[in-house]
Amino acid sequence: MKASQNVGKKGGQVVLLTGAAQGIGRATAKALATRGFRLGLMDRHGEPLAELASELKDQAMVATAQVDVRDPASLKQAVASLEERLGPTEILVACAGVGTTSNSLDLDVEGFRQMLEVNVVGVAHSIDAVLPGMYARQAGHIVGISSVAGYRGMPWMPGYSASKAALTTYLEALRPALKRRGVTITTVYPGFVRTGMTLDTRFRRPVPMLEAEQAAAYLVRAIVRRPRDYTFPLGTAIGMEILRRLPCRLFDWVMDRAGPRALTSEF
């Protein structure tokens, strides 16, 4: 774990953000910086993380730690180091995540394992690292990034859908007990965002994709407002809610036509 600090303007609440160096995480860090939050930025990719911190140093108080959320010991050290420089964690945004496409002819079990380790267990490690302090202060806000892809099994991304469904259920199970200790949980369900996975030519795009900056604007809204659940954009939220409520036979029929054909090798 490597840590560094770039101090800019003193801000308000302390936000720890995992997966901060790229994608939605990077865009969210920039959006939070303009609002005066103190930012503890974590990512396993050191160079882009350092570049981001340098870019934000004149806008906000920023500290960074190069760490992998799959390594619980290093993650706890990173959180302790960031809190020493920024103050106690008031908000955790667990943005670190990975995803790949696959199908029944190539299950990519190794990729599935990695998605579970990062998208589910990595979030659990991140929460575990900040909870003792939140419990002691009887206050805190945890924001977990699930996905509309976890509403039901998407045939072009079975592993990713499963990991996000697992995360949703995990956060839901934690919510009652944490709430009694003053810690709230917001589960965020982004629509399809333009990333390396969604740009895969095999990926079927049922709805228009958001840019990372657009997703970040929605995510900041969820951070500030603290809803229980937050799905965006509205059109995708409505469409996916309808899909989630479809009878199983009808859902299977729709997916057979919308997704890749399992018995072909062209996916």
Q: Point out the residues that are catalytic.
A: 160
Q: Which two tokens stand for residue 263?
A: 């018995």
193: exposed, middle or buried (Cβ count in 10 Å: 0-12, 13-18, 19+): buried
Report the run of H or E that residue 137 belongs to, with start and end.
helix 122-137
C-beta of residue 198 within 8 angstroms of C-beta of residue 205: yes
For 68-205, list the strands marked E by DSSP.
Answer: 91-94, 140-145, 183-190
Q: Amino acid letter at 26?
A: R
Strand-by-strand arrangement of the 14-18 sheet: 2-6, 62-66, 38-43, 14-18, 91-94, 140-145, 183-190, 229-232
Distance CA 53, CA 152 (A): 37
Distance CA 265, CA 256 (A): 15
206: helix, coil or strand?
coil
- Please give the span between the terminal C-alpha atoms of the chain, in angstroms, as a whole number: 39
Distance CA 1, CA 68 (A): 8
For the chain, list the strands marked E by DSSP.
Answer: 2-6, 14-18, 38-43, 62-66, 91-94, 140-145, 183-190, 229-232
Name residue, tokens 């958001």: 210
Distance CA 201, CA 232 (A): 24
